Structure 1
Amino acid sequence: MSRYAAADSGSGAGHGAGTLPLARPADSFRMLWRHTRGQRGFVVLVGITGLVAAVAGLVAPVVIGWLVDVLLAAGEGGAAAPSPDPASLDSASPSGPGTALWWAAAAVAGAGLVAAACAWAGQAWLARAAEPTVAGLREAVMDRALRIGSARLDGTETGDLVSRVAEDAREVSQAASTVIPLVVQSLFTVLVSGAGLAVVDWRLGLVGLLAVPMYWTTLRWYLPRSEPIYRQERAAFGTRASRLLGGITGARTLRAYDAQGPELERIHAASAQARDLSIEVFGFLTRAFSRNNRAEAVVLAALLGAGYLLVAGGYLTAGAVTTAALLFHRLFNPIGALVGMFDQVQSAGASLARMVGVIDLPVPERLERLRGGPLELAGISHTYDDGTPALHDVHLAIGPGEVVAVVGTTGAGKSTLAQIAAGMVAPSVGTARLGGVELTAADPVSLREHVTMVSQEVHGFATTVAENLRVARPGASVEDLQAALATAGADWVAQLPHGLDTEVGEDGHRLDPMQLQMLALARVALANPQLVVLDEATAEASSAGARRLDVAAAKVLAGRSALVVAHRLSQAVSADRILVMEDGRIVESGTHEQLRAAGGRYAALSRAWFGA
Structure 2
Amino acid sequence: MSGTTRALPLAGAVEVRRTVAAYLRPHRGLSAAMVATAVLAALAGLVAPWAIGGLVDGVLAGTTPAEIVVRTAVVAVAGLLSAVLTAVSAALVAKLGQRVLARMREDTVSAALHLPSAVIERSGRGDLLSRVGDDVAVISQVVAALLAPWITALLTVALTMGGLFALDPWLMVAGMLALPVYGFSLRWYLPRAARRYSAERAAFADRAESLVSALEGLPTLRAYGAEAEHVGLVERSSDRARGLSRSVVWFSTRWGKWMNIAELVGLSAIVVAGFVLVDVGAATVGAVTAAALYFHRLFNPLSLLVASFDQVQSAFASLQRIVGVLGIPRERPAGTHDGAPAALVADGVTYRYPGSAEPVLHEVSLRIEPGETIALVGASGAGKSTLATLLAGLVAPDEGTVTFGGGPVAGTGAVLLVPQEAHVFSGPLIEDLRLARQDATEAEVRHALDVVGADWIEELPEGVHTAVGELGHPLGPDRVAQVALARALLADPAVVLLDEATAEASSREAGRLEDAAAAVLRDRAGLVVAHRLRQAAIADRVLVMDDGRVVESGAHDELLAAGGHYARLWEAWSTPRPEAKLALEG
| TM-score w.r.t. length of structure 2 | 0.91
**Residue 513 and residue 122 in structure 1: after superposition, are their counterparts in 2 closer, same or farther (change >3 A)?**
farther
| Residues 234-279 of structure 1: CA deviation (Å, up to 9, x unaligned) | 1111222222333334444434444332222111111111111111
Q: Of the candidates 34, 40, 44, which is equivalent to residue 22 of structure 2?
A: 34
Residue pair 1:402, 1:562 contacting (<8 A) in 2 also: yes
Give the structure 2 partner of residue 225 of structure 1: 192
| Residues 480-526 of structure 1: CA deviation (Å, up to 9, x unaligned) | 11211011111111110000111122322122222222111001122
| Residues 64-121 of structure 1: CA deviation (Å, up to 9, x unaligned) | 22222233344xxxxxxxxxxxxxxxxxxxx634x44543443233223222222222
Q: Does 1:238 align with 2:208?
A: no
Give the structure 2 partner of residue 395 of structure 1: 365
- CA distance in 1 between counterparts of 2:169 and 2:315 reads 39
SS in 2 for 1:169: helix
SS in 2 for 1:376: strand
Give the structure 1 partner of residue 39 of structure 2: 51
SS in 1 for 2:438: coil
- CA distance in 2 between counterparts of 1:355 and 1:302 reads 44
Give the structure 2 partner of residue 152 of structure 1: 119
Residue pair 1:595, 1:602 contacting (<8 A) in 2 also: yes
Equivalent residue letter for 2:24: T
Equivalent residue letter for 1:360: G
Residue pair 2:118, 2:396 contacting (<8 A) in 1 also: no
Residue pair 1:370, 1:435 contacting (<8 A) in 2 also: no
Q: Does 1:422 align with 2:392?
A: yes
Instruction: State which drifts further: 52-61 or 543-552.
Output: 543-552
How do residues 148-297 of structure 1 correspond to structure 2 at under 5 angstroms? 148-297=115-264
Residue pair 1:123, 1:177 contacting (<8 A) in 2 also: no
Q: Of the candidates 265, 283, 306, which is equivalent to residue 298 of structure 1?
A: 265
Q: Does 1:96 align with 2:64?
A: yes
Q: Of the candidates 414, 433, 437, which is equivalent to residue 407 of structure 2?
A: 437
| Residues 356-411 of structure 1: CA deviation (Å, up to 9, x unaligned) | 21121124679985632222222222345535423221111122222112223444
Equivalent residue letter for 1:485: L
- CA distance in 2 between counterparts of 1:395 and 1:310 reads 90
Equivalent residue letter for 1:575: A
How do residues 198-597 of structure 1 correspond to structure 2 at under 5 angstroms? 198-363=165-330, 371-388=340-357, 389-440=359-410, 444=411, 447-448=412-413, 450-597=414-561
Residue pair 2:383, 2:545 contacting (<8 A) in 1 also: yes
Following TM superposition, by how much is the alpha carbon of 1:221 offset from its aligned partner in structure 2, in angstroms? Answer: 0.2
Equivalent residue letter for 1:188: L
- CA distance in 1 between counterparts of 2:311 and 2:203 reads 16
Give the structure 2 partner of residue 81 of structure 1: none
Give the structure 1 partner of residue 52 of structure 2: 64
- CA distance in 2 between counterparts of 1:415 and 1:28 reads 39
Equivalent residue letter for 1:397: R
**Residue 218 and residue 102 in structure 1: after superposition, are their counterparts in 2 closer, same or farther (change >3 A)?**
same
- CA distance in 2 between counterparts of 1:123 and 1:68 reads 33
Equivalent residue letter for 2:402: A
Instruction: State which drifts further: 213-222 or 373-382.
Output: 373-382
| Residues 317-365 of structure 1: CA deviation (Å, up to 9, x unaligned) | 2222111111111112222222332222221111111112112112467
- CA distance in 2 between counterparts of 1:101 and 1:541 reads 91
Residue pair 2:19, 2:323 contacting (<8 A) in 1 also: yes
- CA distance in 2 between counterparts of 1:102 and 1:249 reads 73
SS in 1 for 2:96: helix
Equivalent residue letter for 2:33: L
Residue pair 1:138, 1:169 contacting (<8 A) in 2 also: yes
SS in 2 for 1:430: strand
Instruction: State which drifts further: 251-260 or 230-239.
Output: 251-260
Following TM superposition, by how much is the alpha carbon of 1:588 offset from its aligned partner in structure 2, in angstroms? Answer: 2.2
The one of the two structures with greater contact order (alpha-carbon pairs below 8 A, sep at least 6) is: 1
**Residue 154 and residue 547 in structure 1: after superposition, are their counterparts in 2 closer, same or farther (change >3 A)?**
farther
Residue pair 1:39, 1:128 contacting (<8 A) in 2 also: no
Instruction: State which drifts further: 99-108 or 186-195.
Output: 99-108
**Residue 570 and residue 136 in structure 1: after superposition, are their counterparts in 2 closer, same or farther (change >3 A)?**
farther
- CA distance in 2 between counterparts of 1:190 and 1:433 reads 61
Residue pair 1:403, 1:561 contacting (<8 A) in 2 also: yes
Residue pair 2:207, 2:234 contacting (<8 A) in 1 also: yes
| Residues 2-55 of structure 1: CA deviation (Å, up to 9, x unaligned) | xxxxxxxxxxx5554332211222222222222223223222222112211111
| Residues 300-322 of structure 1: CA deviation (Å, up to 9, x unaligned) | 22221221222233332222211
Equivalent residue letter for 2:35: G
Equivalent residue letter for 1:316: A
SS in 1 for 2:366: strand
Give the structure 1 partner of residue 11 of structure 2: 23
**Residue 425 and residue 255 in structure 1: after superposition, are their counterparts in 2 closer, same or farther (change >3 A)?**
closer
SS in 2 for 1:484: helix
Give the structure 1 partner of residue 581 of structure 2: none
Instruction: State which drifts further: 397-406 or 574-583.
Output: 574-583
SS in 1 for 2:375: strand
- CA distance in 2 between counterparts of 1:182 and 1:14 reads 47
Residue pair 1:456, 1:540 contacting (<8 A) in 2 also: yes
- CA distance in 2 between counterparts of 1:431 and 1:202 reads 72
Following TM superposition, by how much is the alpha carbon of 1:419 offset from its aligned partner in structure 2, in angstroms? Answer: 2.4
SS in 1 for 2:210: helix
Equivalent residue letter for 2:369: G
Give the structure 1 partner of residue 583 of structure 2: none
**Residue 520 and residue 378 in structure 1: after superposition, are their counterparts in 2 closer, same or farther (change >3 A)?**
same
Equivalent residue letter for 1:61: P
Instruction: State which drifts further: 394-403 or 587-596.
Output: 587-596
SS in 2 for 1:57: helix
**Residue 568 and residue 71 in structure 1: after superposition, are their counterparts in 2 closer, same or farther (change >3 A)?**
farther
Following TM superposition, by how much is the alpha carbon of 1:129 offset from its aligned partner in structure 2, in angstroms? Answer: 1.9
- CA distance in 2 between counterparts of 1:542 and 1:169 reads 43
- CA distance in 1 between counterparts of 2:13 and 2:507 reads 54
SS in 1 for 2:527: strand
SS in 2 for 1:148: coil
Identity over the aligned pairs, expressed in percent?
45
- CA distance in 1 between counterparts of 2:400 and 2:202 reads 36
| Residues 438-461 of structure 1: CA deviation (Å, up to 9, x unaligned) | 425xxx5xx32x322211232222
Residue pair 2:94, 2:148 contacting (<8 A) in 1 also: no
- CA distance in 2 between counterparts of 1:306 and 1:415 reads 80
Equivalent residue letter for 2:524: R
